[in-house]
Structure 1
Amino acid sequence: MVMHEERPHRTFAEDVGVRAMLRPVNQQPGSTRLAARRVRDLLRAEIRRGAFADGRLPAESELMARYQASREAVREALDLLRRDGLIERRRGLGTMTIRDEYLVPGLLPPRGDLYETYLPGGHVTPRVLHRAWLPAPDAVVAHLDGVAPDDDCLCIDYVLLVDDRPTGVFTNYLRAGEAARVEQQLFDTDFYSLLHDSAVTPTNFDLSLQAGTADDCTATLLRIRPGAPILLWEQTIRDQNGQAVDYALGALRGDVVITLGGIPRIDLTHSLPPRR
C-alpha cells in the first residue's frame, strides 16, 4: 500500500499570500523617482564644474523651473545629494555644497611635465610606505613582459598626496631592468615623472577601475571612514617599445573623478576575447 503524506490545509488568506509572493513584481521605479535621479545627476555635474561659484544652490522653485521637475522630485534629488555628502542645508544660508571633487586626467602627461601641471589645483607628492625588491608574484608575472616566476621586481607602496591630502594609495611592481634605474632616483613627485627621470618613457597604459569600499587599512591611509566608497585601480604601463614594464594596484578616494576626453573611435576587435 502506498502511503501519501498528508499536506497541511491552508486557509484562504494563507493561499492568497502564497500566490502574492509568487506573482511577478514590477521593479520599474515611478516617474517621480526617475525624475529625481535625472535632477540629481545634472546637479552633481553642475557642482563638479563649479557652476555655483558661492557654493549656494538655487532655491527649490528655481530648480523646479530649470529642470522642469516637480517639487517632490527636486526635494528627493537634494536628499540624494545630501546622502552622498555633497550638500547640506545651513540655517540662514540655504543649501550649500560641502565637498570638493578632484578632477584627475586619465592621460599621460608629456615627457618632462609634472602630472600636477594638468590638475585643477594642488601640489602632488608621494608618501612612501614601503620600497623593496621581491620575487614577482604570479599576478605581476601575468601582466609584465619578459618577467618569469620568481624574477625580482621593485615593489613601491605609497600614498599620493595632493596638497598634503591623501587622494590614493598604490602599490607599483616595476620590472627589474627599469627598476634598477628607478631605484637610484628620488621619488618626490608623481610616478610618471619618476619613470621619466630614470630614462623610462611611459607611452601608454591599460587601466581598469571598479567601485569598491574601503577596508580599515585603506580608510586609515586615505583618511576616510571604513566602508566609504572608493575606486579600485589596476594599471599596466608600457614603454616606447610597447613593453609592459610596470603593474600597479591601488585605491582612490570616492571624491576623485577620472576624466577622459577626445577618445577616438577605433577598432577594438583585435583586443576582444573570442566568443566561445
Structure 2
Amino acid sequence: MTQPRIDPRTQRRSSAARRVRDLLRSAVVHEEFPAGALPGELELMLLFSASRQVIRDALTLLRDEGLVKRVQGTGTFSVASKVRHSFSHLHGPEPAREVVSHRVLSVSREVAAPRVAERLGIPAGSGCGVIEYLTVLGEEPYYVCTAYLPPQLLFVAERGTSVTEWYTIYESAGFELGVTDQAVEAIVADEQVAALLCVAPGSPLMLFERLVRDRTGRPLEYAFARVRGDRLALITQLRRPRPTGQEG
C-alpha cells in the first residue's frame, strides 16, 4: 500500500506542534501555570521559538485531548488537572484542589472464581465478598473498582464511604498494610463503565490490578480499578542497574 505523500513543510509544522503540545501538557500536568491559565500566544511563540500557527496547532491538540479550553478574548485554561500517581508507595489519589470520596455501588457475597480464590488464599469454591465502588474527585468520577475480599472483611470495605483514601479502611480496622502487587495496563471503556465515569464508550482508561496484603503477607483485597486516562499521570523514578561485574 502506497503511503500518501505529505508536503515537507506541513510535516515539519505538524512535528513542531506535537513537540510543543508535549511540553505544554507536561507543564499543565505538573500545575506550573498559576490558576490554570496558560501564557498567551505571543509569549508561547517566544518560549518555543515557534510560529503562531504552530502554537495554535499545539493548543488545538491539547483542546482535542480535553486538557485545555480556549476562551475567546480571555485566553487558554486547563480544564482539569491530572492526578499525579507516584509509584513510590501505596496510596490513593492525592489531588491538590479536589475532595476525594467513594460511593459504594453494590455489595454481595459470591462463590470465588478460581483466580480470586488463589489470589486471596481461600479454598477453591468457597465464598468471598465483592464490593463495587466509584471514586469521585469533587463531583467528577475518577475510577470505578471491583474488589474481592475474604468474606469476613466485607464489613470493613463497606466503610469506604466514610474515608477519603480507600486503604485507610483496613488500617482503621487494625490491619497494618504490607506489600501490594500492582499491574497497570491500558484499556478502553465499555458502555457500563463509560456511563459510570461519564466518558464516551471506547475512551482510554488505565486498569490497575492489585493485591493488597497485610504485614504478615495475608491477602486483604484483590481488585480491578478502571481509571480515567484523561485524569491520570503515572510518576516514578527509575534507576539503571550497574552492568554485571562492575564494582560499586
Give the TM-score taking structure 2 as reference length: 0.80
**Is the CA contact (8 Å cut-off) linking 2:69 and 2:77 kept in structure 1?**
yes
Q: Determine which structure has greater relative contact order: mean sequence separation of CA pairs < 8 Å that are 6+ residues apart, divided by chain length.
A: 2
**Pick from 37, 41, 59: which aligns with 2:18?**
37
Deviations 1:190-232 (A, max 9, x none): 3211111222222221222222222221122122233332222
Q: Is 1:174–2:149 an aligned residue pair?
A: yes
Quote how far apart the aligned CAs of 1:24 are. Answer: 8.1
Runs of 4+ in 1 over 6 A off after TM superposition: 23-27
Structure 2 CA distance for partners of 1:222 and 1:24, relative to 1, 3 Å: closer
- In our comparison, the structure showing a higher alpha carbon Rg is 1
Amino acid at match of 1:212: I
How many residues are aligned here?
237
Q: TM-score, normalised by structure 1?
A: 0.73
Match of 1:103 in 2: 84
Residue 220 and residue 198 in structure 1: after superposition, are their counterparts in 2 closer, same or farther (change >3 A)? same
Matched, 1:231 2:213: no
User: Aligned pair in 2 of structure 1 residues 54, 193: CA closer, same or farther (>3 Å)?
Assistant: closer
Alpha-carbon displacement from aligned partner over 1:221-263 (angstroms, at most 9, x marks no partner): 1222333322222111122123333210121122332444455
Unaligned runs of 5+ in 2: 243-248
Instruction: Report the secondary structure of 2:14's partner residue.
Output: helix
| Contact 1:157–1:172 (8 Å) recurs in 2 | yes
The Cα offsets for residues 78-126 of structure 1, whole Å up to 9 and x where unpaired, read as 22111111223322113333233233444325xxxxx57x542333322
Task: Decide whether the 8 Å contact of 1:100 with 1:255 is kept in 2.
Answer: no
Alignment partner, residue 9 of structure 1: none
Q: CA–CA distance in 1 between the matches of 2:176 and 2:102?
A: 20
Alpha-carbon distance in structure 2 between the residues aligned to 1:201 and 1:48: 32
Query: Does the CA-based 8 Å contact 1:160-1:166 persist in structure 2?
Result: yes
Unpaired runs of at least 5, structure 1 = 1-20, 110-114, 268-276
Seen in structure 2, the aligned counterparts of structure 1 residues 256 and 208 have a Cα distance that, compared at 3 Å, is farther
Contact 1:104–1:119 (Cα < 8 Å) also in 2: no
Residues 108-257 of structure 1 correspond to what in structure 2 (within 5 A)?
108-109=90-91, 118-144=94-120, 146-176=121-151, 179=153, 182=156, 186-187=159-160, 188-189=162-163, 190-257=165-232
1 or 2, which has the higher strand percentage?
2
Q: Tell me, yes or no, if structure 1 residue 51 matches structure 2 residue 24.
A: no
Equivalent position to 1:88, from 69, 76, 96: 69
